[in-house]
Amino acid sequence: MRKAMMLTCCKLYISESQNALALESIEQAAKRYPEAVIINKFKDEDYNRVGYTLVSNSSTNLSIDALPLRNAVFSMVKSAFEGIDLNLHSGTHPRLGVVDHICFHPLAQASLDEVAVLAKSAAADIGSKLQVPTFLYGAAHGEGRTLDYIRRELGYFKPNAAGNQWSGALNSEFLLLKPDEGPSLLTQSKGVVTIGATKWVDNYNVPVCSTDIEVVMRIARKVSGRGGGLKSVQAMGLMHGNDSAEVACNLLDPGRVGADQVQIEVERLASEEGVTVEKGYFTDFSQEKVTELYLKSIEAD
């Protein structure tokens, strides 16, 4: 039975960590579709952000519109928009909307093309039914547009408040990019959504013992592939709390460039800047662990 399974995973990031009632409502919305299991919840109070990891078995005879993972994600997104107002949000992690980012990943026997169809279907629903500008990337986009391209075009990486904070709604209701789904004008209380389909991505953050954000940003830039550092690594230098910072990394090909290499390189670059770092941490389980936990959960049921 395990060999026949086509497991699909979705990582969904909500711009909120302090509104317990809203988060409970979001999680209850997912539980309406018990075949889609929440495997991990990572809440970061300083970033004011929560990440959820869901997994479901897509090897069924159901149509794309009836797949539990797709419907669980839509239900969570709808609940998030009902309970959270971007105008009231503030944190030290960049974001473009109440539901900042959704990404689908293939696990087990699933293919990238299959999760791309799932991502595009979810985007169509969110754009039309919830009237939120929605942008596609990765395998879900016809030209393979990248997530960081969308984010740069929409000003994602530029803090809009003192203390390197992102606070309140986006600066304008007019978007510099045309959405793939939904209206061209955004609602300030909701923002926009980015939805993609990619191979597995590890998220690994390295705490830096410095409050000099310029130093931390330099380290992040040099460790990233874009800055001439480690290939397949994206990195941001962010404040994390009032008296610390970190280099937050996306490892786009963790089998090739993993957390150990990132840790060593950040330590080397930090030493050149005269600062020290702590041991980094993952914000989610590995894809192998996610699969294992899902299989255990359905066996228990």
Using pLDDT thresholds of 50, 70 and 90, give the confidence band for residue 285. Answer: very high
Q: Domain ends where: 199, 221, 238?
A: 199
Residue 31: inside a domain, yes or no?
yes
Mean pLDDT of the chain: 94
**CATH number (domain holding residue 215):** 3.30.70.670
* Average confidence (pLDDT) over 78-85: 98
**Does the annotation mark 93 as catalytic?**
yes
Residue 86: inside a domain, yes or no?
yes
pLDDT tops 90 at residue 173: no
**Three-class secondary structure assignment of 134-174:** EEEEECCCCCCCCHHHHHHHCCCCCCCECCCEEECCCCCCE
Tell which residue, 48, 46, 64, 44, has the closest CA to residue 56.
64
Pair of tokens at residue 53: 């990891």
Residue bearing the bigger pLDDT, 1 or 276: 276
- If asked whether residues 255 and 140 sit together in one domain, one would say no
- If asked whether residues 174 and 275 sit together in one domain, one would say no
- If asked whether residues 124 and 97 sit together in one domain, one would say yes
Residue 50: inside a domain, yes or no?
yes
pLDDT at residue 85, as a whole number: 98
- If asked whether residues 105 and 193 sit together in one domain, one would say yes
- If asked whether residues 131 and 208 sit together in one domain, one would say no
Q: Domain ends where: 133, 168, 199?
A: 199
Structure pTM? 0.95
Share of the chain above pLDDT 70, in %: 98
- If asked whether residues 211 and 194 sit together in one domain, one would say no
What span, in angstroms and rounded, lies between the C-alpha atoms of 252 and 225?
A: 10
Residue 288: inside a domain, yes or no?
no
Using pLDDT thresholds of 50, 70 and 90, give the confidence band for residue 1. Answer: very low
Residue 34: inside a domain, yes or no?
yes
pLDDT tops 90 at residue 119: yes
- If asked whether residues 168 and 214 sit together in one domain, one would say no
Q: Which of 93, 101, 141, 240 is catalytic?
A: 93
Using pLDDT thresholds of 50, 70 and 90, give the confidence band for residue 146. Answer: very high
- If asked whether residues 110 and 54 sit together in one domain, one would say yes
Residue 296: inside a domain, yes or no?
no
- If asked whether residues 129 and 231 sit together in one domain, one would say no
* Average confidence (pLDDT) over 250-271: 98
- If asked whether residues 127 and 270 sit together in one domain, one would say no
Residue 125: inside a domain, yes or no?
yes
pLDDT at residue 4, as a whole number: 59
- If asked whether residues 191 and 207 sit together in one domain, one would say no
Sheet containing strand 6-14, strands side by side = 37-44, 49-57, 6-14, 99-108, 193-197, 134-138
DSSP 186: P
* Average confidence (pLDDT) over 170-174: 80
Q: Domain ends where: 165, 199, 233?
A: 199
Residue 270: inside a domain, yes or no?
yes
187 in helix, strand or coil?
A: coil
pLDDT digits (tens, 9 = 90+) for 189-218: 999 999 999 999 999 999 999 999 999 999
pLDDT tops 70 at residue 3: no
What span, in angstroms and rounded, lies between the C-alpha atoms of 58 and 36?
A: 10
- If asked whether residues 126 and 209 sit together in one domain, one would say no
Domains in the chain, number: 2
Q: Which domain holds residue 75?
A: 6-199
Give the pairing of strands 6-14 and 49-57: antiparallel
